[in-house]
Amino acid sequence: MIGTGILKGMAVTLRNFAGSYFDKERLITVQYPEERNPLPENYRNFPILIYDGNDPQAGLRCVACQICEKECPPQCIYIIKSKDKKPDYVGKPQLYPAVFDIDISVCMSCQICVEVCPFEAIKMDKDFELSQRERFNHLLFRKEQLSKSNEYYHKIHPVEAATVDKNLADAAAAAEAKKKAAAEAAAKAAAAKAAAAQAPTTVASSESAAGSTAAPGQTPPEATKSNS
């Protein structure tokens, strides 16, 4: 029958309209900004930089490898490497970004920068209230604006952040075990070298080196022949 679909749709609308007076879950309008719908775990908006600890400069995970800058499709990431180094999460001296800018007016939120980062340093934020009065300078985010703590990362992506922390902890433990094994091997090699240097050296006589067939207390045949 023609018009059946329209009648079914109007019935659903009428049921939700009447039910909204009794059941809050039927309300489809959120009174924003007083009320906000929770964002899903995988929601993403624009990239941020993660740092560990309380110091965003010393704890920044980024080592300025510039992979994200090279892989970014709209080329909205700009990085300048530092001239000095700082230790990373496993204690290895690494460079860090002296400049790290992201133009969010160009960013397309593709998350490729997150996927290619080998140091778990760049992640996607959930903050979408970033409107500004100007299109250019106010939408160019510097390193100071992009730096967010690991606690903030856990707040917006709890499941993903827990997995990342476990992977980093396992990598740090493996690096520490490798370092300890190398130190023990070096100590053993040094001890073996010292023991070899202190061992007494014996010089074999020509008779013992050539081999003697004389019985104990007798003159070897070679010596008898030379005396005669």
55 vs 77 pLDDT, higher one: 77
User: How confident is residue 209, by pLDDT bands cut at 50, 70 and 90?
Assistant: very low
Report the alpha-carbon distance of residue 102 to residue 11 in Å, rounded.
Answer: 49
Q: What is the DSSP letter of 24?
A: G
pTM of the model as a whole:
0.70
The mean pLDDT value of the chain amounts to: 85
Report the alpha-carbon distance of residue 90 to residue 120 in Å, rounded.
Answer: 13
pLDDT at 91: 73
User: How confident is residue 154, by pLDDT bands cut at 50, 70 and 90?
Assistant: very high
Residue whose structure tokens are 């370092």: 179
206 vs 109 pLDDT, higher one: 109
- Which range among 2-6, 142-146, 181-185 shows the weakest confidence by mean pLDDT? 2-6
pLDDT tens-digit profile of 171-195?
888 988 998 999 999 999 888 888 8
My answer on whether omega of the bond before 33 falls inside 30° of 0, hence cis, is: yes
pLDDT at 136: 75
Cα separations (Å) of 117 from 74, 113, 187, 221?
17, 6, 37, 82
